Amino acid sequence: MSTSAEERDEPKSPRIENLDRTIAHLDLDAFFVSVELQRRPELKGLPVIVSGTGPRSVVTTASYEARKFGVGSAMPTAKALRLCPEAVVVPPDGAAYKRMSGTVMDLIRHHVPQVEQAGLDEAYADLTGMLAPSAAMRRVVHDIRVETGLHASVGIGPNRLVAKVASDAEKPDGFVFLSQEQARMKFADSSTRLLPGVGPKTRERLERLQIYTVDDLSEASVQELTDEFGGRQGPWLRARARFEDDTPVQTDREAVSESRETTFSVDVEGIAELRERMAPLVLELCKALETHGHSGRTVGIKIRYSDFETHTRARTLDHSVSDRATVGRIASQLLDEFQPSRPVRLLGVRVAGFTGATSKPREQLSLPFG
Ligand SMILES: [Mg+2]
């Protein structure tokens, strides 16, 4: 196959790129295993596999210690245990992962407005127009770590494809910001399997055409690709290798509520002090409601103890509210009624049930390999 010498020799001097869009992809690191390690800290540092136990079970997630033995997602568990006999097998707990996923998604939405959940452990965010997109995503990662103990990797780029591949490039704890051109250079020598949408079968067919790397594919003849894959998929594959992608980020949830919450650096005890800590949250929330022109019938509070046990309490009124006095009064009442019994790590306040907002049912998410 031919590679274009002119393009290869093009000077790679840095240039100012006019990025029309800024898209981030966030992916939690070894999600299922990490949730399990939160509640089984004695397993930290050990090779751990989350998997069922039947004869045809496959690995859903492996800890990084297990990955060192060559264990990977979707591998039959029997094979994983041959590679790493000392691995601890933990059965999956879908309900726990969904709960944790909800917490993480709320944290992302708290910092960036346009979020599309792409799986239990991953989301895209459209950061176009934000002054400091990297800083916003660093805050998201920080909050996820503080709030949930989970680690996340982030990729930022001009489109979803660059963001997705970048988020995977330096896992765990990756944070990679690339232009389209930088992505092409960085992944030029990688296998075409790196590209989302190129599975093992497609890779085999590409290899029959002597196309092995991302760079090979980006320079392949459109005619040749079209002959092999058809008029749609052929050119599409080449565009993937050039990191071209204009798929939009689709917000999956219309705003139906707004909330403010804070995690204390030192756990807070006692109703009087909690009430005091609630006041600035109410103030901030009501300001935001005013700015966005929102009001809602439900006022709620959220309390998380230091062991991450989380409680919510809410009251629904017969009219919409958004003013500081009413929201503050109801939040205080809820706090009094709840009477936290232990030191509190996180306190939140929320107004929901916005007037005029129709809540769309959330997309059913299936458990990914993650
Ligand atoms: Mg993941």
Q: How confident is the model at residue 147 (pLDDT cuts 50, 70, 90)?
A: very high
pTM of the model: 0.65
Q: How far is the CA of 370 from the centre of ligand 1 (A)?
A: 4
Q: How far is the CA of 26 from the centre of ligand 1 (A)?
A: 8
Q: How far is the CA of 31 from the centre of ligand 1 (A)?
A: 5
pLDDT for position 356: 52
**Average pLDDT of span 320-349:** 94
116 pLDDT more than 80: yes
213 pLDDT more than 90: yes
Q: How far is the CA of 166 from the centre of ligand 1 (A)?
A: 13
Q: How confident is the model at residue 228 (pLDDT cuts 50, 70, 90)?
A: very high
HEC profile of the chain: CCCCHHHHHCCCCCCCCCCCCCEEEEEECCHHHHHHHHHCHHHCCCCEEEECCCCCCEEEEECHHHHCCCCCCCCEHHHHHHHCCCCEEECCCHHHHHHHHHHHHHHHHHHCCEEEEEECCEEEEECCCCCCHHHHHHHHHHHHHHHHCCCEEEEEECCHHHHHHHHHHCCCCCEEECCHHHHHHHCCCCEHHHCCCCCHHHHHHHHHCCCCEHHHHHCCCHHHHHHHHHHHHHHHHHHHHCCCCCCCCCCCCCCCEEEEEEEEEEEECCHHHHHHHHHHHHHHHHHHHHHHCCCEEEEEEEEEECCCCEEEEEEEEEEEECCHHHHHHHHHHHHHHHCCCCCEEEEEEEEEEECCCCCCCCCCCCCCCC
Rounded Cα distance, 155 and 135, in Å? 13
**Average pLDDT of span 1-13:** 38
Q: How confident is the model at residue 131 (pLDDT cuts 50, 70, 90)?
A: confident
Q: How confident is the model at residue 240 (pLDDT cuts 50, 70, 90)?
A: very high
Q: Which of 273-287, 328-342, 343-357 is least confident?
A: 343-357
Q: How far is the CA of 248 from the centre of ligand 1 (A)?
A: 21
Q: How far is the CA of 96 from the centre of ligand 1 (A)?
A: 16
pLDDT for position 10: 36
**Average pLDDT of span 77-88:** 96
Domains of the chain are: 31-93 (3.40.1170.60), 187-241 (1.10.150.20), 257-354 (3.30.1490.100)
Q: How far is the CA of 119 from the centre of ligand 1 (A)?
A: 9
Q: Which of 123-127, 134-138, 349-353, 358-362 is least confident?
A: 358-362
Q: How far is the CA of 56 from the centre of ligand 1 (A)?
A: 23
**Average pLDDT of span 63-76:** 94
**Average pLDDT of span 228-257:** 86
Q: How far is the CA of 123 from the centre of ligand 1 (A)?
A: 10
Active site residues: 122
Q: How confident is the model at residue 72 (pLDDT cuts 50, 70, 90)?
A: very high
Q: Which of 170-179, 293-302, 353-362 is least confident?
A: 353-362
Tokens 């998380």 belong to residue: 304
Q: How far is the CA of 134 from the centre of ligand 1 (A)?
A: 20
What are 304-329's pLDDT values in tens digits? 998 878 888 999 888 899 999 999 99
Q: How far is the CA of 350 from the centre of ligand 1 (A)?
A: 29
